[in-house]
Chains A and B, each alone.
Chain A
């Protein structure tokens, strides 16, 4: 592992421990009250979910067209993180919606497209695990669809009628709400970098193991 990994992990852990204090000190939203505070982890997790799907798609494209195994390992790691952060988004969102909208789920474009993106990431992992020989390229093709879905998720709230808050909410946040949000975004971004590096390292070790077995057979 690189030298920066452990210090950055320590900084991220401290920041995550501090984030609830900033979130607690941020003002209550006028109509939703306490439950709106789910937003401070929900939104950063959603951004990382989309970022991870994009990284998975770009790395898969590079693997498909250039055949680089390093990018395949990066795509595999990013797909797993897409599932992790997607699960966070899809659990925290309904918990917020239950109070704010009165329902756990609404089949609107933002929610449905997010669910689709998460299911594509799951499909990627399942194809990689059970697809047999050649499944890496099939999964890479799936990752391209997962990446193509990202713009739909992002712009859906601005173009289609939905009860989900639009993207214009974030720039209008008052200072204390904005500070709590951007601090949480920094926490999630650092955590994502660390988890991605750790997960890629696991794939590197697996590739090393495969080459060792091959050398033993020879």
Chain B
């Protein structure tokens, strides 16, 4: 009798364990087919001020910051290369004229 009860308990545990695990992790039959359930009707309107912080965040400043950074970074780089190039070219011209003067002398 005890053995039979133990077998029934073990069988129940073996069969029930996946269901418990699925329910606890949210991967049950219903979790695998979320589209099968129709969306719940909206029974209240939520003001935008009560949304989570990431949803309240305005997009425009982020967008403007991104584009401004791209333009400024590219412009700054072009100016930086232009300055370095003109400095090196001035020095090359100066040395070339020095060498020419040296060979003439």
Query: Judging by beta carbons under 8 Å apart, are A45 and B88 in contact?
Result: no
CA distance A199 to B82 in the complex (A): 9
With an 8 A cutoff between CB atoms, is B19 at the interface?
A: no
Interface residues of B, count at CB 8 A: 28
CA distance A3 to B54 in the complex (A): 51
Contact A20:B92 (CB < 8 A) given known A88-B73, A198-B81, A202-B84? no
Q: B25 to nearest A CB, angstroms?
A: 16
Contact A201:B59 (CB < 8 A) given known A41-B67, A84-B73, A212-B92? no
In which size bucket is the chain A interface?
A: 20 to 34
Q: A199 to nearest B CB, angstroms?
A: 6
CA distance A202 to B91 in the complex (A): 12
Q: B85 to nearest A CB, angstroms?
A: 5
Query: Judging by beta carbons under 8 Å apart, are A195 and B81 in contact?
Result: yes
Interface residues of B in 36-93 (CB under 8 A from A): 52-54, 57, 59-60, 62-63, 65-67, 69-70, 73-74, 77-78, 81, 84-85, 88-89, 91-92
Query: Judging by beta carbons under 8 Å apart, are B66 and A34 in contact?
Result: no
A-chain residues with CB within 8 Å of residue B81 when the two chains form the complex: 195, 198-199, 202
Query: Judging by beta carbons under 8 Å apart, are B63 and A35 in contact?
Result: yes
B-chain residues with CB within 8 Å of residue A179 when the two chains form the complex: none
Query: Judging by beta carbons under 8 Å apart, are B52 and A96 in contact?
Result: no
The binding surface of chain B is classed by DSSP as: helix
Query: Judging by beta carbons under 8 Å apart, are A41 and B70 in contact?
Result: yes
Stretch from A135-143, A156-164, A203-211 at the B interface: A203-211
CA distance A182 to B65 in the complex (A): 22
Query: Judging by beta carbons under 8 Å apart, are B92 and A88 in contact?
Result: no
Query: Judging by beta carbons under 8 Å apart, are A95 and B62 in contact?
Result: yes
Query: Judging by beta carbons under 8 Å apart, are B52 and A102 in contact?
Result: yes
With an 8 A cutoff between CB atoms, is A71 at the interface?
A: no
Query: Judging by beta carbons under 8 Å apart, are B62 and A38 in contact?
Result: yes
With an 8 A cutoff between CB atoms, is A99 at the interface?
A: yes
Which chain A residues have a beta carbon within 8 Å of chain B's beta carbons? 20, 33-35, 37-38, 41-42, 45, 84, 87-88, 91-92, 95-96, 98-99, 101-102, 191, 195, 198-199, 201-202, 205-206, 208-209, 212-213, 215-216
Task: Give 13 new A-B contacts, CB below 8 A, not counting A41-B67, A201-B85, A212-B95.
Answer: A34-B59, A34-B60, A84-B77, A88-B73, A95-B63, A95-B66, A96-B66, A101-B54, A102-B54, A195-B77, A198-B78, A202-B88, A215-B99
